[in-house]
Amino acid sequence: MECKRVACLGAGFVGGPTMAVFASKCPDIHFTVLDIDSSKIDQWNSNNLPIYEPNLYEIIQPVRGQNLFFSTNIIEEIEAADMIFFSLPTPTKKQGLGAGSACDLSYFEQAVRNVATILTKYKGFKIIVEKSTVPVRTAEMVKEILTCNCKELEFSVLSNPEFLAEGSAVNDLLFPNRVLIGGDNMQAITALFMLYAKWVPSDRIITTSLWSSELAKLCSNAMLAQRVSSINSISALCEKVGADVEDVARVLTKDERIGSKFLQTSIGFGGSCFKKDILCLVYLCENVGLSEVAEYWRQVIVMNEFQTNRYCRVISKMLVNLKMKNIAIFGFAYKKNTSDTRESPSAYVCNSLLQEEAILHIFDPKVTRQQMLAEMNFHEFLDGISSEKHLISHSDPYVAVKNTCAIVVLTEWDIFKNLNYESMYAEMQKPAFIFDGRNVLNHKALKRVGFKVVAIGKSE
């Protein structure tokens, strides 16, 4: 079957960029990104996009209004589409059965039910694509809802998980290392395959069963997170035995079997996916009676929390007492090149310092104060704390460091590497500390300036 019109439910970090790249590569196909949140759609239609992502505007601008549209007109677009993507959030459940580990499928299911309502009387064929990261066998639920509610609808469900990483989304979409399509209907698989084949070499497009595809996405994130936790666990050991984690990582990465990616030590991984997806995997393992397997993967999260807490303890210990001390925080996003703060380890570190009554002066090149407060409030970190007095945000890093006793680097933004630390040092209280939670700065040069430098995984 030929696909002429595509609709995507969910105008978030995945739906927006993915459809933008599709539209730029498939000029003959009409793409519409749909959302019930009209303010979000207005932003996608403006020059001020709702997310910061390098080169996203450049990709969107030439195709928007041509073959890429952002709309709240869900009924009309779902009726007209040949292919419907579901790109809704699937966060961790907060209450009820599986709270704290199972996936909350309520947004996803609601969207499927809405589509079923729209298509109740529809006669014809539609391809349904799961783009969201979902628990294994979610496609079964989708099939059931559609079969029960849409008597004359012919459809096929595909799993097409997204592998883009925030901060490099456009590049990842333009040059994916693989595209995964899971399904049981060759006609539908071929239709989606043909869309990607417009720019992705066909040997990079993997087809599998639905269940392998759904599971592979969870495993992919779990394996990446496991590498970060592995190197972070080694960083703790390095500090105890006088080794340097960067030397160790350098040796490891020379072995092609190990590879070089995801071995950068840090204060812990963050973002909306790693923890959520591992928890989902853990829950799945527990449900099928594989408690040892569940425990193995749970340990990746335990290690991540240990790393963040460990670093907080190091800061508190080195500064002796934090009460009313001014501390500069560099970076609030969970990684560089994104404005996303979800599950950012920065929020956890800030919380720990606030508990000690420190006064934080935060600088992040892309995160607004409103977002910082929202993330802190989401975790209830500001309960009983005056954010006016204790959480101050700055748009200039040189202003942020004035009269502080320490700079704590929590995100690996490139801009932090090229600041004039000599002039910062002059404006700070002495002794002046730098806690480099990402090991991105030139420690030797900072020590020459006079800073006391505390890195991760290094004993001096």
Report the interface residues with ligand UGA, using CB under 6 A. 133, 162-166, 221, 224, 228, 262-264, 266, 269-271, 273-274, 334-335
Catalytic residue flag (residue 273): yes
| Secondary structure letter of residue 410 according to DSSP | -
Cβ distance to ligand UGA smaller for residue 91 or 124: 91
- Residue/partner pairs of 247-256 with CB below 8 Å, 24 or more apart: 248/457
137 vs 178 by CB, closer to ligand UGA: 178
Q: Is 363 labelled as part of a ligand binding site?
A: no
Minimum separation from the CB atom of position 268 to ligand UGA (A):
7
Q: How far apart are the first and last CA of the chain?
A: 63
Give all strands (DSSP E) within 72-195, no chain letters.
83-86, 124-130, 153-159, 179-182
Of 179 and 195, the one with the shorter C-beta distance to ligand UGA is 179
Q: Which residue has the tokens 């934090």?
A: 322
Tell me: is residue 35 an annotated ligand-binding position: yes
- Is residue 124 part of an annotated ligand binding site? no
> Catalytic: which of 3, 150, 273, 350?
273
- Distance of closest approach, residue 203 Cβ to ligand UGA, in angstroms: 19
Of the pair 128, 273, the CB lying nearest ligand UGA is at 273
Q: Is 104 part of any known ligand binding site?
A: no
14 is an annotated ligand-binding site residue? yes
Residue 76, marked binder: no
What is the C-alpha separation between 270 and 345, in angstroms, rounded?
Answer: 6
Q: How far is the CB of 276 from ligand UGA (least distance, A)?
A: 8
DSSP three-state, residue 460: coil
Look up residue 208 and give its two tokens: 């599998």
Report in angstroms how near the CB of residue 53 gets to ligand UGA at its nearest. 10
- Which of 41, 2, 1, 37 lies closest to 19, judged by CA? 41
Beta strands in 364-455 (DSSP E): 391-394, 406-409, 433-436, 452-454
Position 273, amino acid: C
Q: What does the alpha-carbon distance between residue 266 and residue 316 come to, in Å, rounded to a whole number? A: 18
Nearer to ligand UGA, 30 or 217 (CB): 217
Give me the amino acid identity at 390: H
Which residues 6+ apart lie within 8 Å of 62 measured at CB?
A: 24
Q: Which is nearer to ligand UGA, 126 or 131 (CB)?
A: 131
Strand partners, 326: 359
CB of 364 to ligand UGA, least distance (A): 14
Q: Is 239 annotated as a binding residue?
A: no
CB of 5 to ligand UGA, least distance (A): 26
| CA dist., res. 256 & res. 58, Å (int) | 36
Catalytic site positions = 273
Annotated binding site: 10-15, 35, 40, 132-133, 166, 273-276, 342
Annotated binding site for NAD(+): 10-15, 35, 40, 132-133, 166, 273-276, 342
